[in-house]
């Protein structure tokens, strides 16, 4: 799939990786970029259509679907990350509400449009989905759930021609990692690598040097092989009449 001429929707589009994804989609010739944000957004490029979209708000999701005519690529990027120690159930629920149920809700709502275009879903997950960082365990749990969701959706939607990409992003220099002193990738380089991965049909995308260290062992590993074996149990779609 090439981005040129495609319609793309990015959630959490006003800052960080989401903002960089909007810029990169435009640079690659996207015909329309729907920028989902919680606060009103103005963008100088006429191809950008702002959408009011809190991913935890079912009414806003529905209104967004009704204002989008056609969609090729949905990028579930909106996310939160708070420090915690798993002692407070409310913090876990907060992460699940945005990072997991937000991704789930937006995906289900846009699925009819994506099926029509035989499009793609891109879930910005995290390396923490597979290797949790113990200072943000609630975040890691929500990302593990979103990753597992991506794997099941990939199997369930493959027959309808909808591809599902999971981005195992490593530390990136955004508000989310402010004050956390580790080497970080730029949001612009991560956005470029995400679209490269989509264009190259990579199921898992490792968009920075830290996450790249997982790529070979993941792609050639026993877990990926088992995911493919399990996917074969999905009944084939009946041929179109
Ligand atoms: N930065 C990293 O190191 C890193 C690593 C791995 C994965 N990721 C993932 O990458 C994605 C983007 O993160 P980032 O680093 O760009 O973080 P960021 O700069 O903190 O941006 C987070 C974005 O998510 C939006 N958001 C939060 N809650 C939302 C909700 N309920 N509905 C809609 N939008 C919501 C924010 O909107 P507001 O401005 O309205 O708050 C903002 O646009 C996240 O899913 C994150 O988990 C980031």
Q: What is the pLDDT of residues 208-218, one digit of tens each?
A: 999 999 999 99
What is the predicted pLDDT for the residue at 240?
54
What does DSSP assign to residue 150? H
Question: Taking 90 as the threshold, does the pLDDT of residue 241 lie above it?
Answer: no
Confidence of residue 237 (pLDDT cuts 50, 70, 90): confident
Question: Taking 60 as the threshold, does the pLDDT of residue 72 lie above it?
Answer: yes
Measured from CB, residues less than 6 Å from any atom of ligand 1 are: 11-12, 14-18, 38-39, 53-56, 77-81, 98, 102, 124, 126, 169, 171-172, 174-177
Atom of ligand 1 nearest to the CA of 81: 47
b/e burial code for range 123-157 (CB count within 10 A of at least 16 → b): bbbbbbbbebeeebbbbbbbbbbbbebbbebbbeb
CA triple 75-71-19, angle to 5 deg: 35
> Which helix H or strand E contains 33, and what residues bound it?
strand 32-37
What is the predicted pLDDT for the residue at 166?
98
Confidence of residue 239 (pLDDT cuts 50, 70, 90): low
Confidence of residue 238 (pLDDT cuts 50, 70, 90): low
Q: What is the pLDDT of residues 26-54, one digit of tens each?
A: 999 999 999 999 999 999 999 999 999 99
Question: Mean of the pLDDT values across residues 71-77?
Answer: 98
Q: What is the pLDDT of residues 163-208, one digit of tens each?
A: 999 999 999 999 999 999 999 999 999 999 999 999 999 999 999 9
How many Å lie between the centroid of ligand 1 and the Cα of residue 177? 10
Residues 188, 23 contacting (CB under 8 angstroms):
yes
Q: End-to-end CA distance of the chain, in Å?
A: 26
**Under the phi-then-psi rule, with left for phi > 0, alpha for psi from -120 to 50, and beta for the rest, what region is 95?**
alpha
Residues 4, 28 contacting (CB under 8 angstroms):
yes
CA triple 186-149-29, angle to 5 deg: 45
Question: Taking 90 as the threshold, does the pLDDT of residue 155 lie above it?
Answer: yes
Residue with tokens 């080497």: 183
Residues 81, 34 contacting (CB under 8 angstroms):
no
Residues 167, 103 contacting (CB under 8 angstroms):
no
How many Å lie between the centroid of ligand 1 and the Cα of residue 161? 28
Question: Taking 90 as the threshold, does the pLDDT of residue 236 lie above it?
Answer: no
The reported pTM is 0.98
pLDDT-above-70 percentage for the chain: 98
In degrees rounded to 5, what are phi and psi of residue 135? -90, -10
Atom of ligand 1 nearest to the CA of 53: 33
């Amino acid at each position: 799939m090439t981005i040129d001429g495609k319609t793309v929707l990015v959630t959490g589009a006003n800052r960080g990786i989401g903002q960089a994804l909007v810029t990169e989609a435009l640079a690659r010739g996207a015909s329309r970029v729907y920028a989902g944000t919680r606060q009103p957004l103005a963008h100088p490029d006429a191809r950008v259509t702002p959408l009011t979209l809190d991913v935890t708000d079912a009414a806003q999701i529905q209104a967004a679907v009704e204002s989008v005519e056609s969609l090729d690529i949905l990028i579930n990027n909106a996310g939160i990350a708070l420090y915690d120690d798993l002692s407070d159930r409310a913090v876990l629920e907060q992460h699940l509400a945005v990072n997991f149920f937000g991704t789930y809700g937006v995906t289900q709502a846009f699925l009819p449009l994506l099926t029509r275009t035989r499009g793609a879903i891109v879930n910005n997950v995290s390396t923490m989905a597979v290797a949790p960082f113990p200072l943000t365990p609630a975040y890691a749990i929500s990302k593990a759930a979103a990753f597992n969701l991506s794997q099941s959706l990939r199997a369930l939607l493959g027959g309808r021609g909808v591809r599902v990409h999971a981005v195992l992003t490593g530390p990136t220099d955004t508000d989310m990692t402010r004050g956390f002193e580790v080497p970080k990738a730029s949001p612009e380089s991560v956005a470029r690598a995400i679209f490269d991965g989509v264009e190259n049909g990579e199921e898992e995308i490792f968009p920075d040097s830290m996450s790249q260290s997982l790529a070979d062992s993941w792609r050639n590993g026993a877990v990926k092989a088992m995911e493919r074996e399990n996917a074969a149990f999905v009944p084939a779609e009946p041929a179109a009449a």
